[in-house]
A = this chain, B = another copy of it.
């Protein structure tokens, strides 16, 4: 949004900014509820309590529960595709895969709720995301599988089924977000703990990379 500095905002602009801020605030609180209980399992009242507003007020900002939910999902998907986009044939596999693992683990640390919501959606059969999986994710993954295949053909990577390698990276990194409660129960720690984060990242990188790349 382009806007030169000024002492006073136009009344309309200021109102619109405030409107947008509050919308964002509600979205954030709603995500934390939906990511725990899913769409059907969450009630409007849980969300309004979390956001400290009235039910009527929420319906002023979002015309229905479904619109609220879809808005959140849309926002999440924007971030979701980014990190894997970052490697290509010219890259060194160890470095590229290592960075990708770290980037995914950072997402698990910084946006654990988005990860959980995504997980809930998939478990429920991806009623909303099915189109996204087929139309956007699949082409991207096919392309990245080809990159991995080329690394193998160039002798830079030991033979491995590319798609399973991708699944392994996804599952191991997302696990620390989706199963954080179990991990907290068994280790007493989570990814917010810097040492634990580094230890986790290093272990996943070590196990996955040492078996596939000659050191």
A→B interface (CB under 8 Å):
35-42, 116, 119-120, 122-126, 130, 133-134, 137-138, 141, 160-161, 163-165, 167-168, 170-172, 174-176, 178-179, 181-183, 185-187, 199-200, 203-204, 206-212
Contact = CB atoms under 8 A, between A and B. Distances in A.
B126 A116 contact: no
A5 to B, nearest CB: 37
A172 B167 contact: yes
A69 to B, nearest CB: 13
A208 B36 CA distance: 31
11 contacts: A38-B38, A38-B40, A40-B42, A133-B181, A133-B182, A137-B185, A163-B186, A164-B204, A171-B172, A207-B208, A211-B211
B137 A181 contact: no
A131 to B, nearest CB: 10
B167 A175 contact: yes
A38 to B, nearest CB: 5
Contacts of A126: 181-182, 185
A209 B206 CA distance: 12
Contacts of A39: 41
Contact of A200 (B42, B122, B164, B203): B164
Contacts of A42: 40
Contacts of A133: 181-182, 185-186
What 7 pairs between A and B have smallest CB-CB spacing?
Answer: A171-B175, A40-B41, A210-B211, A211-B211, A133-B185, A164-B203, A41-B41
Nearest to A199: B161
Nearest to A160: B203
A120 B204 CA distance: 24
A47 to B, nearest CB: 14
Contact of A37 (B38, B137, B209, B210): B38
Nearest to A179: B122
A122 to B, nearest CB: 5
